[in-house]
Structure 1
Amino acid sequence: MNPSDSQDIPVATTSADDGRRARSRSSRARIVAAMLELVAQGNVAPGAAQVAEVAGVGLRSVFRHFKDMDALYREMAEAIEVQVLPILMRPPEGASWQQRLFDIAARRVRIFETIMPYRISANVRRFESAYLMEGYRRQLRLEAEALAAHLPDEVRADAEGARGLNVILSFNTWRLLRHDQGLAPEQAAGVVRRMLGDALARWPED
């Protein structure tokens, strides 16, 4: 064998491997995009067959990339997190804690409006999935902890008042206004601001 021929073999094999990996990444991305598209369109519980059809891949390909639907929901959650994390991580603005709460309310309106179809979808399936149920409880905990971090000690000490603020600024309240009551985003945001203002009236402005 010509020495130069033997040097070409690893290169050809590597190129083939790279091509397979690229196709695999492309299929995986299409599957996640299909899941996001179906949920965004209002399909709260898309099945693997529907995801495969929209993605343009075989059903076996879905389960080759994702061992179960929980794994696909996990990937979807990561994609959504990329969108909302910059909004979430920015410190709230305002001279007083009350003003900062109104800023948090406005920011949560943007976040909740973005994630609403995906979170409703996860909520529908959470009773069938320990992973999604834990995710739901974690979201509730994070909402409460993020709000509590911006409350003064005397407000945190008022357990009923603090819980009331948490309810007003929760995703479940936003879902009720937007999904159950059918309000437009601007109307729902106005209701949230009104409820928050009424609740804050019990504490004097700093």
Structure 2
Amino acid sequence: MSTNVATQNKSNTAGMSKVRFITQVGMLGAIAVILMAFEIPLPFAPAFYKIDFSEVPALIGCFAMGPAAGAMIELIKIVLHLLISGTSTAGVGDIANFAIGCAFILPAAWIYKAKHSRKSAMIGMAAGTVFMAFIGCFLNAYVLLPAYAKAFSMPIDALVGMGTAVNGHITNLLTFVVFAVAPFNLLKGAMVSAVVLLIYKKISPILKMR
């Protein structure tokens, strides 16, 4: 009898933990979509490149509950954003946001998971920022900008021209990536990392409660 009770208690605990996990992921995803609405334009990049802090909840979720939680938060954020606001980029910007966001948070989470310390978190976020910048440059040059141009029936040169209008160093696709995309992602990674470092220690005990 005692064995059955112990098994039942273990099953109930696991069930409650699963519900708590789903609830926390959903909550952080909802916070992320709210933060996504507050965008900061940048003087060195075209108007469609704006920084937001929606990766903050995703990165906190990664650190507290693991990489899978962070990816789910990113996905929930994008789905909610599409349902609430629709898309002004034919879905290209939304796919980019998800892919590049994951490129940032997942390396950070994997490094932090290996050793839970402030130093490890900082190394993880630095690595994630660099990886995000690299992936962002690659995807923008070879996938996202061409897809965006095709979706709106405009030449790549027109997008480059939008960059040239705000940044004289941008003269072609390569310089667009180097002087707009890379700085954008590096700055975003640094800003999100700084916020997470400031608030994670205060929030994490709540998320880790069982």
- Give TM-score scaled by structure 2 length: 0.38
- Give TM-score scaled by structure 1 length: 0.38
Q: Which has the higher contact order (CA 8 A, sep 6+)?
A: 2
